[in-house]
Structures are given as structure tokens and as C-alpha cells.
Amino acid sequence: MGDAMRTVRVKAIVEHGPGLKSFLLDGPIESAAPGQFVMLWLPGIDEKPFSISDLGEAGLEISVKAVGPFTRALMEVSVGDYLGIRGPFGKGFRLADRTLLVGGGIGVAPLRFLYREMGRLRLSAWLVVGVRTAADLIFPDYFRSLPDCLIVSEDGSIGETGIVTDVIDRIIDQAGTTRLAAAGPEPMLVALRDLGERRGLKVELDLERYMKCGIGLCGLCCVDGSGVRLCVEGPVLSSAELRGVTDLGRPHRDATGRRRCGPD
């Protein structure tokens, strides 16, 4: 019954910067694969999809960037408040040795969980985290403390100056990774897919589309082309699966199911 709605209390909140917070929830998920997501209900407001950014004894962690009405309302939530959870949903990343993890912006959230899980399983992982500026990074101290993690920022306020694609080739050469797992803005993902495939890596991308039901019925999250449901067969897709996606890096559908005109 992981699919049913359960309300749970917020145990702790970490404020990383303006409009950037992580929420630790009291249960209710026993286990999940990194890359899977939950539908988060803010009673009286709305329900939206969020990646699991960590899961352990302490509870379920969600990391959120305020970008609109729902995520801004989430910033007002206090410890002790109830939030509703459905999930975990979807298919996560494969856990395999010698994987290069690349996250952009709030996209680092699922990679935080993936990195931890790989560590638990003693699989070797390298992590590249890219943000616009230092204030956009969740858990900066944590990422800074990781031995195999490289942080890049566009304005140089944290880590190296640049964008993630600037440093990938270097890491692949140094570390000899054979797989690439990435999450973040879709243009970045497309660039990483191209780069990864050029370098002969097995690529997995964590995509986002508008999600309403989370359980494979409403059809809003279906990619154009193969029609694959990101909430069930995704959100993580492999290179092979990505070949069936005709709207990759192009405008997606909105809440009405209509294709947007401009880029997302």
C-alpha cells in the first residue's frame, strides 16, 4: 500500500539558502531506489513530485527549490506539520560500479541518495555537482567533505568555475568510469548524454515531465515518441530508452497535456 496517501510529520528542516530547503519526514517509506520519487501533498494546496534525496533510519529526506506557488508554500512548512506522501514511485538508477554521477542545481537531490546507496554497497562512484552559485547547493559541507566529489559553479562562488560538461572528460580519464548517471536541467542532460555516448559510457538520465497521478494513468508524464510513462517506466531512462524520446530537450507538455510552445 505504498501507493496510498499517508500523512506524516516533518521531523526536521534544513535551510540551505533562500528558497532552498531539505525536509526530513517521519517515515513512512521503508525502502526505495535512488531516482525514485514521491508525490508530496501539502494539505489545502496541491501535490507535486519530488525525488528522494535521502532515506535511512532518520526518515525520508526531500530537498526542494522554490520555483512557484507550491514550492514556495513548502518553504512555510514548520517542524511538526503534517505532509502527505504517496510513493515511492517509478524506476531508479541502476546501482553499478564505476559510475560517474552528475547533478545540476536541485538535480543533485537524487544523486545525494544514489551516492550514499552506492557507498553502502561499496560501489565506486565519482560525483560532479554543478550549480549557478553557492547558494543553490544543498548540503554544501557534505558535498565538500566527499573525497570523490567535484563541485563547479558558474560564478565560481563554490568549487571550480564553470559548468559540469567542462570537467566530465577529465574525470572520465582520471577515474576510468564506465557509466554516467545524471539529473538536472534537461539541456544539461542532453549535453551529458551526447558526451557520455561519445565516450562510450552507459548513460542514465533522470528526466522530469509534468506529473499528476504518479501511478501511470493520467498520461501527462508520457514522453513523446515511445509514449513511455516517466512515473512508472522512468523517471530514469537508459540510452536505449532515450532513443525513443522525441521531445528530449524540447518543449514538454503542461498540466493540460498540451505541448508548450517555448522551451521548458
Ligand X SMILES: Cc1cc2nc3c(=O)[nH]c(=O)nc-3n(C[C@H](O)[C@H](O)[C@H](O)COP(=O)(O)OP(=O)(O)OC[C@H]3O[C@@H](n4cnc5c(N)ncnc54)[C@H](O)[C@@H]3O)c2cc1C
Ligand Y SMILES: Cc1cc2nc3c(=O)[nH]c(=O)nc-3n(C[C@H](O)[C@H](O)[C@H](O)COP(=O)(O)O)c2cc1C
Q: Is 215 in the site for another protein (CB under 8 A)?
A: yes
Q: Is 71 in the site for ligand X (CB under 6 A)?
A: yes
Query: Which one of 67, 79, 121, 217 is in contact with ligand X (CB under 6 A)?
Result: 67
Q: Is 5 in the site for ligand Y (CB under 6 A)?
A: no
CB of 229 to ligand Y, least distance (A): 13
> Comparing C-alpha atoms, which of 202, 160, 192, 185 is closest to residue 264?
185
Taking the least distance from each CB to ligand Y, the nearer of 98 and 212 is 212
Q: Give the integer Cα–Cα distance in Å for 17 and 20.
A: 5
β-strands 179-183, 46-51 pairing: unpaired
Query: Which one of 24, 106, 131, 223 is in contact with ligand X (CB under 6 A)?
Result: 106
Cell 554497497 locates to: 121
Is-cis flag, bond preceding 235, omega within 30? yes
Query: Which one of 210, 222, 245, 253 is in contact with ligand X (CB under 6 A)?
Result: 210
CB of 25 to another protein, least distance (A): 13
Angle between helix 164-175 and helix 186-198 axes, rounded to 10 deg: 30
Q: Is 93 in the site for ligand X (CB under 6 A)?
A: no
E-state strands within 66-148: 82-89, 99-104, 125-131
Q: Is 213 in the site for ligand FES (CB under 6 A)?
A: yes
CA Rg value for the chain:
17
> Comparing C-alpha atoms, which of 52, 57, 130 is closest to residue 85?
52
> Comparing C-alpha atoms, which of 24, 182, 27 is closest to residue 99?
182
Q: Are 171 and 177 in contact (CB under 8 A)?
A: yes
Binding mask 229-248 toward ligand FES (x if CB under 6 A, else -) reads x-x-----------------
The residues in 188-217 that bind ligand Y, with binding defined as CB under 6 A, are 217
* DSSP one-letter code for 94: -
Name the segment binding ligand FES (CB under 6 A); options: 22-30, 92-100, 144-152, 209-217: 209-217
Query: Which one of 11, 94, 212, 260 is in contact with ligand FES (CB under 6 A)?
Result: 212
Residue type, 19: G
Chain positions contacting ligand X, by CB under 6 A: 37, 48-51, 63-65, 67-71, 106, 109, 208, 210-211, 235, 264
Chain positions contacting ligand Y, by CB under 6 A: 217-218
Chain positions contacting ligand FES, by CB under 6 A: 211-214, 216-221, 229, 231
